């Protein structure tokens, strides 16, 4: 049976071509069906189905699929090689466009998954606590319970110091970043019961990195950092002297007008060598050194006034006199001082005189009973250097971080030994390594707030969000970068779902910084918070009946929240939540985008026959919104919305079986023909149809064909006139489906051909 059937199909195809050629020659009509080859291909692909139907040969002898089947008007045969048909070209373009859209969609989905994967990072050693219900009342969240903090911490989730830190962060943000965050956080540490070492660490951190630099160019940057470091060490030494004097008042015998010289004399009476010729056994060199150690160059100069004509130390005395009037030595003085040291070093017996030479020439400190003394001796040498080369400062940093390193400062590997290493790193201008030491020893709570202080002062070298917590540069051992985004992620992991405002406060410091996909990390955090908690009303605000937006948490961080809301809406769309995306686009005032998403959703509803009621309700709401607010929706978007709403209504009436209303609607919407007379107009108007309406044409044609077949086979037609009208409708739909330059799905073609055979 099979070979005979194919021969019959081929002969009928040749006959069809001959009939089309004769018809075109007789009437000179233009080609209505440009894709004859496509139509014939569809016929041959359906041959297997027809054979399975086991139709009688006599009923199909003179027809395509029966006496009352589909008759196609075709172009005359062309002997020259034919160009690709318009339908084939259109189908190819459509396929290419679908591929490009699919690639773009997959790229966006990949981007979203990468961003969410970045936020999902956590440490195995820090498992998440059990989730608590999200607080929904913004006012309660923003209030300050017990006049100390705006947060009520669930038991075991946050320490008092962490809540105090969070409260200071909130006040800093509310002040539009104008309040001194370094002092605020240091006060929170003290108020929160920090240990003495931790309080000292905060003092060093704020002194070194609490204020911005006037320039980041070298050597000005190194000079300023050295000045800050020596300043804090000298201030600390003054505090130490006062404490010592206060504990030994009787021995110190401090009297007269309070001054730095009187404090120095009182201190040296207690802790001096007692072998000098000044009051209380204090020597001039001893007094000069301790005055320089306290940062009082003038007092050091005065202490050596009696030695102004001392020939063997004339250059040293002159150098101190020079430093009393200017911050650094000049080249000539330093050369003379170096020459004097070479000649006199073997004859100098006073340790404080030798210490003064070491300090001014950058030699190894001779008086270094503790880390602070050793650091001060090296840093003051850099401060008074005529032209501080960045290489010298870098070498000092390398000595601390690389040559000595953790193995020297923390020999046992215990976290309790962190303080000296942290101090050395901070005072040599290495906040990134210092914060890493703090993180390893004291946890993320202290480290993240110190990192925020350095970041706000523009003194933190930032690593990309995809890097490790601290990234070392192989070519320059002293250079490293801190991944602040990862550090904040680790810290906020325990409360990101239970205290949304507090987590957003910390992510706000990364506003404008690119994430793993070059997107703004803060906006990504907001989008993720909405995705995880579904608290878009709390975070982004709510849309009122008048179309306005009530303030949300986002308004505390940005002046124009619409762009952030638009980003969240796009992420919701990519994540497969079009209903949420439409609502958020409306919240952002992007009505045009909301209409576009609504049209896509209606197309999906028509194709899959799911969520039709919901998508129609959304479309109607947008239709009324566009009608009441002219200009907020583009004409093309509004036209597409209206035609899709008409299409859904048409499909609904087809499902109800009301063929009279269906025919009436078709005559009004006019993008599907009702008879042969309206076929040419429908084909001509195809290219003017919105692309989304074209996508549902297969479903529309199938629904109309199904309605015609069911109406005719069930005998619901009242008279011959209506029966003839339905048959003309079916013929027009078959021709339209075969002629329109749009690829119909194979299963739709098969079902339509099956129904066409039922009508024959």
Higher local confidence (pLDDT), 294 or 76: 294
Higher local confidence (pLDDT), 532 or 413: 532
- Do 249 and 382 share a structural domain? yes
Could you tell me if residue 241 is inside a domain? yes
Q: How far apart are CA 399 and CA 405, in angstroms?
A: 8
Percent of the chain residues past pLDDT 90, beyond the cut: 39
Q: What are phi and psi of 520, to 5 degrees?
A: -65, 125
Task: Give the bridge partners for 470, in sequence order.
Answer: 482
Could you tell me if residue 704 is inside a domain? yes
Q: How far apart are CA 468 and CA 484, in angstroms?
A: 10
Mean pLDDT, rounded, for 368-379: 91
36-49: pLDDT as tens digits: 445 545 554 454 44
Indicate the average pLDDT of the chain.
80
Q: Say if residue 82's pLDDT is above 50.
A: no
pLDDT bin (cut points 50, 70, 90) of residue 142 is very low
Higher local confidence (pLDDT), 261 or 319: 319
- Do 747 and 602 share a structural domain? yes
**Among 28, 53, 88, which residue terminates a domain?**
88
Q: How far apart are CA 483 and CA 234, in angstroms?
A: 32
- Do 114 and 82 share a structural domain? no
Q: Say if residue 155's pLDDT is above 90.
A: no
pLDDT bin (cut points 50, 70, 90) of residue 380 is very high
Q: Which residues of 409-425 are buried (b: 16+ CB within 10 A; e: fewer)?
A: bbeeeeeebbbebbbbb
Q: What CA–CA distances, in Å, run from 184 to 205, 212, 492?
A: 13, 16, 20
CA angle 396/400/403 to nearest 5° reads 100
Best CA proximity match to 731, nearest among 680, 687, 674, 690: 674
**Among 567, 589, 611, which residue terminates a domain?**
589
Best CA proximity match to 355, nearest among 330, 381, 335: 381
301-351: pLDDT as tens digits: 888 876 766 778 889 988 988 998 888 899 999 999 999 999 988 888 889
Mean pLDDT, rounded, for 721-743: 87
pLDDT for residue 141: 42
Percent of the chain residues past pLDDT 70, beyond the cut: 76
Could you tell me if residue 237 is inside a domain? yes
pLDDT for residue 669: 84
Could you tell me if residue 98 is inside a domain? no
410-431: pLDDT as tens digits: 888 777 789 999 999 999 999 9
- Do 744 and 683 share a structural domain? yes
Could you tell me if residue 516 is inside a domain? no
- Do 637 and 564 share a structural domain? no
* Number of domains into which the chain is organized: 5
- Do 644 and 732 share a structural domain? yes
Could you tell me if residue 666 is inside a domain? yes
pLDDT for residue 128: 41
Q: Say if residue 586's pLDDT is above 70.
A: yes
Mean pLDDT, rounded, for 61-84: 37
**Among 88, 118, 150, which residue terminates a domain?**
88
pLDDT for residue 99: 65
The verdict on whether omega for the bond into residue 618 sits within 30 degrees of 0, i.e. cis, is no
Q: How far apart are CA 12 and CA 6, in angstroms?
A: 10
Reading phi first (left if > 0) and then psi (alpha if -120 to 50, else beta), residue 287 is in alpha
- Do 146 and 37 share a structural domain? no
Best CA proximity match to 51, nearest among 756, 754, 760: 754
pLDDT bin (cut points 50, 70, 90) of residue 717 is low
Q: How far apart are CA 438 and CA 418, in angstroms?
A: 7
pLDDT for residue 281: 64
pLDDT for residue 121: 60
pLDDT for residue 256: 61
Coil vs helix vs strand at 404: helix
What is the pairing mode between strands 480-482 and 470-472?
Answer: antiparallel
- Do 169 and 122 share a structural domain? no
pLDDT for residue 722: 80
Could you tell me if residue 502 is inside a domain? no
Q: Say if residue 257's pLDDT is above 50.
A: yes
Could you tell me if residue 503 is inside a domain? no
- Do 114 and 173 share a structural domain? no
Q: Say if residue 116's pLDDT is above 80.
A: no
- Do 753 and 626 share a structural domain? yes
- Do 472 and 345 share a structural domain? no
pLDDT for residue 86: 57
- Do 752 and 619 share a structural domain? yes
Mean pLDDT, rounded, for 259-282: 76
Of the listed ranges 188-192, 300-304, 449-453, 726-730, the least confidently predicted one is 300-304
Residue-number span of the structural domain to which 48 is assigned: 2-88
For 492, the token pair is 């906020």
Q: Say if residue 184's pLDDT is above 90.
A: yes
Mean pLDDT, rounded, for 676-705: 90
10 Å Cβ neighbour count for 754? Answer: 16
């Amino acid at each position: 049976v099979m070979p005979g059937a194919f021969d019959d199909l081929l002969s009928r195809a040749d006959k069809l071509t001959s009939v089309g050629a004769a018809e075109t020659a007789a009437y000179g009509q233009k080609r209505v069906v440009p894709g004859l080859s496509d139509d014939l291909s569809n016929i041959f692909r359906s041959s297997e189905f027809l054979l399975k139907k086991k139709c009688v040969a006599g009923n199909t002898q003179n027809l395509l699929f029966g006496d009352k089947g589909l008759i196609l008007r075709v172009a005359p045969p062309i002997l020259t090689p034919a160009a690709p048909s318009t339908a084939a070209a259109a189908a190819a373009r459509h396929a290419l466009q679908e591929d490009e859209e699919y690639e773009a969609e997959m790229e966006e989905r990949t981007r979203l998954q990468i961003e969410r994967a970045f936020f999902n990072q956590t440490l195995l050693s820090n498992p998440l606590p059990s989730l608590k219900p999200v607080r929904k009342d913004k006012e309660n969240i923003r209030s300050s319970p017990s006049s100390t903090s705006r947060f009520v911490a669930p038991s075991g989730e946050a320490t008092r110091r962490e809540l105090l830190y969070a409260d200071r962060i909130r006040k800093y943000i509310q002040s539009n970043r104008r309040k001194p965050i370094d002092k605020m956080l240091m006060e929170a540490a003290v108020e929160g019961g920090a240990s003495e070492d931790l309080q000292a660490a905060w003092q060093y951190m704020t002194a070194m990195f609490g204020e911005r630099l006037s320039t980041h160019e070298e050597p000005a940057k190194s000079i300023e950092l050295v000045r800050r470091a020596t300043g804090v060490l000298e201030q600390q030494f003054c505090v130490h002297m006062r404490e010592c004097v206060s504990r030994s008042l009787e021995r110190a015998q401090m009297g007269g007008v309070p001054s730095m010289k009187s404090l120095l004399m009182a201190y040296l009476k207690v802790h001096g060598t007692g072998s000098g010729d000044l009051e209380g056994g204090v020597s001039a060199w001893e007094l000069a050194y301790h005055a320089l150690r306290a940062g009082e160059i003038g007092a050091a100069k005065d202490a050596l006034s009696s030695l102004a004509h001392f020939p063997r130390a004339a250059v040293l005395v002159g150098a101190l006199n020079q430093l009393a009037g200017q911050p650094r030595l000049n080249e000539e003085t330093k050369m003379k001082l170096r020459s004097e040291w070479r000649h006199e070093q073997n004859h100098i017996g006073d340790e404080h005189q030798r210490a003064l030479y070491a300090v001014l020439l950058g030699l190894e400190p001779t008086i270094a009973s503790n880390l602070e003394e050793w650091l001060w001796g090296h840093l003051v040498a850099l401060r008074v250097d005529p032209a501080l080369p960045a290489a010298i400062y870098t070498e000092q940093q390398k000595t601390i971080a690389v040559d000595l390193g953790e193995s020297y400062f923390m020999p046992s590997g215990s976290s309790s030994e962190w303080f000296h290493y942290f101090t050395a790193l901070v005072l040599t201008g290495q906040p990134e390594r210092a914060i890493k030491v703090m993180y390893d020893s004291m946890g993320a709570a202290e480290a993240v707030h110190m990192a925020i202080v350095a970041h706000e002062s523009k003194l933190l070298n930032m690593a990309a969000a995809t890097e490790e917590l601290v990234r070392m540069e192989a070519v320059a051992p002293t250079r490293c970068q801190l991944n602040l985004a990862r550090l904040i992620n680790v810290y906020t992991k325990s409360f990101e779902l239970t205290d949304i405002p507090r987590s957003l406060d910390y992510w706000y410091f990364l506003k404008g910084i690119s994430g793993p996909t070059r997107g703004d990390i803060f906006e990504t955090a907001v989008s993720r918070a909405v995705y995880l908690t579904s608290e878009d009303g709390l975070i982004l605000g709510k849309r009122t009946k008048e179309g306005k937006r009530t303030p949300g948490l986002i308004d505390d961080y940005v002046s124009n929240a619409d762009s952030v809301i638009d980003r969240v809406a796009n992420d919701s769309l990519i994540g497969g939540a079009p209903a949420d995306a439409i609502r958020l686009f409306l919240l952002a005032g992007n009505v045009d985008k909301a209409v576009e998403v609504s049209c896509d959703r209606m197309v999906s509803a028509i194709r899959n026959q799911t969520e039709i009621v919901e998508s129609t309700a959304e479309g109607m709401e947008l239709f009324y919104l566009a009608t009441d607010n002219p200009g907020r929706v583009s004409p093309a978007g509004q036209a597409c919305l209206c035609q899709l709403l008409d299409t859904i209504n048409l499909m609904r009436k087809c499902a109800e079986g009301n063929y009279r209303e269906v025919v009436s609607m078709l005559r009004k919407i006019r993008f599907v023909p009702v008879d042969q007379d309206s076929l040419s107009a429908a084909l001509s108007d195809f290219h003017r149809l919105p692309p989304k309406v074209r996508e549902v044409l297969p479903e529309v044609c199938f629904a109309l064909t199904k309605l015609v077949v069911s109406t005719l086979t069930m005998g619901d037609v009242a008279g011959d006139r209506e029966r003839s009208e339905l048959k003309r409708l079916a013929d027009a739909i078959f021709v339209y489906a075969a002629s329109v330059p749009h690829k119909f799905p194979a299963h739709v073609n098969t079902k339509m051909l099956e129904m066409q055979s039922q009508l024959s």
